[in-house]
Homo-oligomer: A and B are copies of this chain.
Amino acid sequence: MKLEQLKLSEEPVPIRGLFSIGDADRLPCRLAFEYNAFDTAAVEAELSSRAFAPAGRLLNFNSLDSFKALDKQAFADQLGAELLSSIRSGEALHRPARLLEFSILSYVDLKKYHFYYWLCMPVLAFPPEISPVLLSNASLAESAAVSGGQDLSRFADRVLEFFATSGRCPYFAVRGLDQAGWLGLQAQHCTFGYADPSTDSRAAGWPLRNLLVLLAHHWPGEDDRFQSGQRTCSHSRLMRVRVPGAASSAGAAFRCLGWEKSPSPGSGRAVLQPRFVDLSASLSPDRLAESAVDLNLQLMRWRLVPELNLSSLAATRCLLLGAGTLGCNVARLLMGWGVRNITLVDNGQVSYSNPVRQSLFTFADSQHQPGGKLKAEAAAKALIDIFPGVNAQWRCFQIPMPGHAIPRDQEASVGQDVAQLESLVAEHDVVFLLLDSREARWLPTLLAASAGKLAMNAALGFDSYLVMRHGLGPGSRHGCYFCSDVTAPGNSSQDRTLDQQCTVTRPGLAMIAAGLLVELMVSALQHPAGPTVDPDNVDAAADDDRPPMGRVPHQVRGFLSDASQMSPVGHRFDRCSACSDAVLSAYRSGGYRGFLLKVFNDSSHLELVAGLAELHAEAELSVEVLEMDADDDDF
């Protein structure tokens, strides 16, 4: 409740306690709080015929300091003064539940599952000079025998009937033993009764105390009262009490008591102090981890982003293509945001140089023979080691690429890889492109655009980075990674020197890009307009219409060499080699064998389909590809 509903509010929260007149002997006289204590309707609906539910309020403090700082005596005095005023005015006569109203102060350390609480059940104490006097105390049966053997069973029926019809008012008046009704039943000649949780025949329970004060104010003199017990009335007692006249002495100094004592840890002696419960030991570690993870996120909603929708974020299914430096960091950040469904795809193995840059692997993973553990598998297992509640899946296959010809005997198996990737894209909400080459991003860009799934893309240079969200294909004004190019991606891995094959990037870049990319995804998903939100319109939004997580740029490009960053918008290109209508429709009609395979075997086919070849011919264009080198590696 604190996390999700109350947040920073310290307003009193209504709460219902519970006491019963059916408790077994020797049980302490209890006010209990059930799992549904905050739900008045539920508490009332589930009340047994012998139970009563006094109303109270919970004051939950935001800090232990303020919990401690509250002046407890002044707090009780204030409650007592209000109660006395209600008694004097007669309000409590018409609404006797008022006599049982309580307060609970609490402070909850949600980091440690430590609960501090202190019950205050305000009871008014008679000044010594006008204390009531107990004249007799006998079981009801005995008293009835003395008074002539009346039918106690019929009487018990009457009382239970009153409880049932009065909305479980615990206070009542009795005339003879035939009639039970509201306190004011018959002013001068009745016996007052109440439902008493005490199981000790020598001691009355706390509900008597404020009743006596009420009686002293309204019917001073000599009074009877009985304790209503089980159906047989065998436990009920009749006490004769001389109640002093208090109404006349308006200034009579009633003190207010009521702070519950609790056993001192040392002596076991009951002292005035709050109770403390450490629930961390009672919770399963998995559940603790789960709620602790959510805690950080839920706290964002207290003050900063009340409209943050965490459950939709948790349910988002993320497909990570590439489990290298970017993939590991992105997966970690998604878990930090509470995302519970993560699937990793990689065809590589953990090499010796990986663990210092790829944050889900250890040296032991690279030692695993032959050739190191599978990256996708090791990454998924590491995610579970970090947070057992995550649903982390993995697949090991290579993503086919334009210009990387498929030998004939591999056509069938590559077809299966393509089909697998198509299924994965369909089964997820967001597709992350964290691959090690430009051409590896082509197929997933196309598939995401075709399926209308959000694609998030990151690419690293030596000291620069690019993160972007792709447009969602037709209908989107902003484009994809390939929209800025007038050549189709081809085989860039041929004849490359070692430094071109490896990740030669400043190590900090992958963290920066992963951080920006995941935050960009969250901003996009949390935007009221959704991931299709037009980046061009962002600045036009009025200030009071500010999206929950800030603006949602199309792309962010950053340069370490001068610590600069910019967020341009790239528009959708009608001859894009990955997301143009022509390419999408060629894919849809041709499928693997009719289209994709041709592109893998010869990327110039792609330029033909996209209309880029035509463009080249028309313009005799001197092609200069302005692109950032994509390199999260497989190294």
Contact = CB atoms under 8 A, between A and B. Distances in A.
B387 A355 contact: yes
B299 A498 contact: yes
Contacts of A291: 352
A511 B329 CA distance: 8
A519 interface: yes
Interface in A335-372: 335-337, 351-353, 355-357, 359, 361-364, 366-367
Interface stretch (A145-153, A175-183, A556-564, A603-611): A556-564
A494 B65 contact: yes
A113 to B, nearest CB: 9
B502 A356 contact: no
A63 interface: yes
Interface in A287-333: 288-289, 291-293, 295-296, 299-300, 302-304, 329, 332-333
Given A516-B563, A519-B508, A363 B385 contact: yes
Contacts of A355: 289, 386-387
A518 B508 contact: yes
Given A8-B497, A293-B352, A506-B522, A551 B563 contact: yes
Interface in A487-501: 494-499, 501
A534 interface: no
A586 interface: no
Given A353-B296, A386-B363, A498-B62, A504 B563 contact: no
A111 B366 CA distance: 13
Contacts of A494: 65
Interface string A501-517: 11110111111101111
Contacts of A564: 565
Contact of A504 (B65, B299, B363, B509): B299
17 contacts: A8-B497, A111-B635, A288-B352, A289-B352, A299-B504, A300-B504, A302-B499, A302-B504, A329-B511, A356-B387, A362-B386, A363-B386, A507-B519, A509-B515, A511-B514, A512-B512, A516-B563
A440 B563 CA distance: 27
A12 interface: no
A63 B523 CA distance: 43
Nearest to A550: B561
Contact of A363 (B66, B387, B635): B387
A508 B333 contact: yes
Contacts of A549: 463, 506, 560-561
Contacts of A501: 111
A130 interface: no
Interface in A543-601: 549-551, 553, 556, 558, 560-565, 567
Given A110-B498, A296-B503, A507-B518, 6 more contacts: A62-B497, A293-B356, A336-B356, A506-B549, A508-B518, A523-B560
A285 interface: yes
A388 interface: yes
A367 B281 CA distance: 11
A567 B556 contact: no
Given A293-B356, A385-B363, A512-B515, A336 B507 contact: yes
A299 B499 contact: yes
Contacts of A511: 329, 333, 511-512, 514-515
A206 interface: no
Contacts of A38: none
A300 B356 contact: no
A117 interface: no
Interface in A255-305: 285, 288-289, 291-293, 295-296, 299-300, 302-304
A219 interface: no
A63 B495 contact: yes
Contacts of A397: none
Contacts of A109: 498
Among all A-B residue pairs, the 8 with the closest Cβ atoms: A550-B561, A336-B507, A508-B515, A292-B353, A292-B352, A511-B515, A512-B515, A62-B497
Contacts of A512: 511-512, 515-516
A150 B498 CA distance: 62
Given A495-B65, A498-B62, A551-B563, A335 B363 contact: no
A188 to B, nearest CB: 55
Contacts of A517: 508
Contact of A563 (B367, B499, B567): B567
